[in-house]
Amino acid sequence: MKPKLLFAFNLLLGFMLLLSTYIYVSYAKSNESGEVHLQDEEWVTENAEQEVVITIWSPKPILDYEIQSFQEANPNIRIQFTSLQGEPRLSERYLNALAEGTAPDIMLLPQAMLGSINSVDLIADLSQSHLPLDRYRKMMGEHLWDIHQSLDGEHTIALPFEAYPYVFYYRYDILEEKGYPAEPDALAAYLREPKHLLQLVSDLQQDRQWLLQWENDLITLLNYGQFFFNRDIEYERDSDKYMQVIDTTLKLFDHAANISVWSTYGQQMLRNNELVAVYMQSFGESSIEEWAPDQAGKWRVTRLPLGIEAVDVNTSLSIAITEHSKHKAEAEKFLEHVMNTSTVFNWMETAPASEFLGGQDSGSLYLDILRGNRSSAVPTPLDSRLFEVWYSSVEQSRQSQYTTDDTLNAATQDVMDITSVAQEQLQLYIQRDLQ
């Protein structure tokens, strides 16, 4: 086994042992007294006049408006907010606090961490609350709903606060001038075919214009935009879609600008009409407008090429209530306030047409992409470090000029080397839990 995979295996083994401890301890605590636990009582405020303090942890400093407006409407509820921005081991910090009973009432966490909490009963089941989950489900669509359920599908463990699909921003005027479909829907349909994407990249390159920042752009989007296993803990990354993306990427050798748009030079290429497209999360239009304000009206946004569906698991944040919280009713009230007045769904729903994007209703597009996502992969406890392992494996094979089959097979094998035993154990655990 490769050294990097051995290291990842040891980390995963430690995590699985920790997971088993969480399950056992929480189960023992719930049964040691022999008493029947009435879940509904936890979601009722005993004294509405008494001041209550709710604590919130977040990976970044946000929610200023939401906290202020909530406290104005609920003067008896005070909120203590802690930003953990820059925390080097955020997942470990959260999991340790949950196990030790020192976690806050509410946690915001990246979607990439959902697999760390969806198999343990240290997170409150929101289906026991009074929140209008059916309405939220329609608002977010089936994919986002699905990934916020427990691994056995029996409980709602969190709600999406920020959810950012990857999208394709492009220079409408340049593509129209070259005779390509330039309207967003027409371009998305055209670029579903790999040969059309390759032709467009090649034509632009002849004029020293670039559609890609890096040759592996499409692989990066797919890797950090989807999970690894479905609800039956079956591996999802050996599909025809992954084969198509890898095959197309291998044919894009020497067809990229090899520069990041986040760099000064990359932004200069954007202003110089050299970098004429950018794959970014759906908050990217404000960044492009900041970098190239003189190009207002010349940009548009559409779905990713090849029909790729990807929601960034690192920048998308979810919000959960911890099981040990003594103020679930007040925490529930704050979640409802956030879901009604904020969240990415509210922002996208109310966003005006974008002048920078030529009057395009980009918010509706982002919502359609989120709600129409068809991925069946869900977060699992096995995900820890797999994003890095899979990506590194594909990159090593790509740079070694492996065939498409060999590249995908090598990545699958590297993942299986780490997870095969734990995968079988988790399947048995779920089957037992559902019996």
**pLDDT value at residue 30:** 40
Q: Tell me the C-alpha distance between 239 and 336, whole Å.
A: 38
What token pair was written down for 267? 């932004």
Q: What whole-number distance in Å separates Cα of residue 46 and Cα of residue 109?
A: 29
Is residue 74 classed exposed, middle or buried when 0-12, 13-18 and 19+ CB atoms within 10 A define those classes?
A: middle
Written as tens digits, the pLDDT of the chain (435 aa) is: 444 433 344 444 444 434 443 343 343 334 333 333 344 678 987 667 789 999 999 999 999 999 999 999 999 999 999 999 999 999 999 999 999 999 999 999 999 999 999 988 899 999 999 999 999 999 999 999 999 999 999 999 999 999 999 999 999 999 999 999 999 999 999 999 999 999 999 999 999 999 999 999 999 999 999 999 999 999 999 999 999 999 999 999 899 999 999 999 999 999 999 999 999 999 999 999 999 999 999 999 999 999 999 999 999 999 999 999 999 999 999 999 999 999 999 999 999 999 999 999 999 999 999 999 999 999 999 998 899 999 999 999 999 999 999 999 999 999 999 999 999 988 887 776 655
Alpha-carbon gap, residue 64 to 43, rounded angstroms: 25
> CA 41 to CA 39: how far, in whole Å?
6
Residue where the block lists tokens 């990066």 = 220
Query: Which runs of E-coded beta strand occur in 274-420?
Result: 277-281, 299-302, 317-321
Domain coordinates in residue numbering, the chain: 33-163+313-353, 223-238+385-435
Range 33-163+313-353: architecture per CATH: 3-Layer(aba) Sandwich (3.40)
